[in-house]
């Protein structure tokens, strides 16, 4: 079994952080999100990987050259093809059974267990599902006896905790024959209803960690979750070179070894080549690479151009344009 990592999205909901950077290259706890995807695949012995690319592909390919133990291929889309269309475009690289994961999310799904369940069930596709209390943001999955019965794509009137689609799939390659060539085609909206009409989609119930990192609050939370090493049993077992240290007592901060801390920080993530200036006081902030910070900030994402206050609701997140308190190198 080999893998496809979806890396073609524009990450519009995380703009301006993604204005000049593809979403899989945004750092979580000072590592690009793509690193976590490769670490997870490495843990399960999956070393043949294809990346689907569209937005700023050169920034991803340049970084991916560092994955020395992998056979990495690239499938670049001349026009956006969607999740399923992008995988169809990469079909020449794929095994008879392959896994699809998102390059802009984090999870600790047990891929070995999921693969075994897929093979034993005889399903055409197996979908990892998890419980969520915000079903209107995702594809809701109604299932019975281990198989999908019905989808509800982002139901705006649904509340309460329910099973949702994580975007992690194991797929039999022949399913790609259902996807037209060179058109925009989505897994949930287009392909899966077609598969359900012809065959079966199995489910793998995931009880652990999952985040799609779709907005500022989920991005901020992922950084806080991963600050101390996070959920993975495999992230810091030699796959990554150590480049950040944990500092402090009860309110531990994760600080890049290339950062300079003169001011005070508490419970923060501080990226590469950052400087926390004299007199600065930071509480539970995420400071992105190459940022000089002055002044007081609490529960913010700080970059060279923006301070994003995540305390407001997701629809009313405050932006504070670059000022004398926040200066880029």
Active site residues: 154
Crossing angle of helices 33-43 and 57-64, rounded to 10°: 40
Q: Which of 285, 276, 307 is nearest to 223 (CA)?
A: 285
- Segment (H or E) for 35: helix 33-43
For the chain, give the number of residues.
Answer: 329
How far is residue 299 from each of residues 33, 222, 248, 252, measured CA to CA in Å?
A: 21, 13, 17, 14
- Give backbone dihedrals phi and psi of 34, rounded to 5 degrees, phi first: -60, -30
Q: What is the spatial distance between Cα 48 and Cα 118, in angstroms, rounded to a whole number?
A: 19
Residue 226's Cβ-side half-sphere holds a number of Cα atoms within 13 Å equal to: 33
- Segment (H or E) for 50: strand 48-53
Residue whose pair of structure tokens reads 């600080």 in the numeric block: 255
């Amino acid at each position: 079994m080999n893998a496809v990592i979806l890396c073609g999205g524009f990450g519009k909901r995380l703009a301006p952080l993604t204005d000049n950077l593809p979403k899989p290259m945004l750092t979580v706890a000072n590592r690009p999100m793509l690193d976590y995807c490769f670490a997870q695949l490495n843990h399960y012995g999956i070393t043949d990987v294809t990346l689907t690319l569209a937005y700023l592909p050169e920034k991803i390919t340049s970084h991916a050259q560092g994955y020395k133990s992998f056979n990495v291929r690239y499938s670049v889309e001349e026009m956006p093809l969607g999740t399923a269309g992008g995988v169809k475009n990469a079909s020449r690289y794929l095994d008879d059974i392959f896994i699809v994961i998102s390059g802009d999310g984090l999870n600790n799904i047990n891929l070995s267990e999921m693969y075994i369940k897929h093979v034993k069930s005889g399903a055409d596709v197996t979908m990892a599902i998890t419980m969520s209390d915000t079903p209107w943001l995702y594809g809701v999955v109604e299932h019975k006896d281990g198989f999908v019965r019905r989808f509800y794509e982002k139901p705006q009137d649904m509340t309460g905790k329910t099973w949702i689609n994580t975007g992690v799939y194991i797929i039999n390659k022949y399913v790609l024959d259902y996807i037209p060539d060179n058109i925009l085609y989505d897994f949930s909206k287009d392909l899966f209803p077609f598969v359900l009409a012809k065959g079966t989609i199995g489910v793998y119930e995931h009880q652990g960690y999952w985040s799609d990192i779709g907005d500022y609050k989920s991005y901020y939370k992922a950084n806080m979750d991963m600050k101390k090493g996070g959920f993975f049993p495999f992230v810091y077992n030699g796959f990554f070179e150590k480049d950040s240290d944990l500092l402090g007592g009860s309110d531990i901060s994760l600080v890049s070894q290339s950062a300079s801390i003169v001011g005070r920080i508490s419970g923060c993530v501080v990226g590469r080549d950052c400087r926390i200036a004299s007199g600065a006081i930071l509480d539970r902030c995420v400071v992105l690479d190459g940022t000089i910070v002055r002044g007081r900030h609490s529960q913010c994402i700080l970059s060279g151009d923006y301070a994003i206050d995540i305390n407001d609701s997701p629809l009313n997140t405050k932006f504070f344009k670059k000022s004398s308190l926040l200066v880029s190198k």
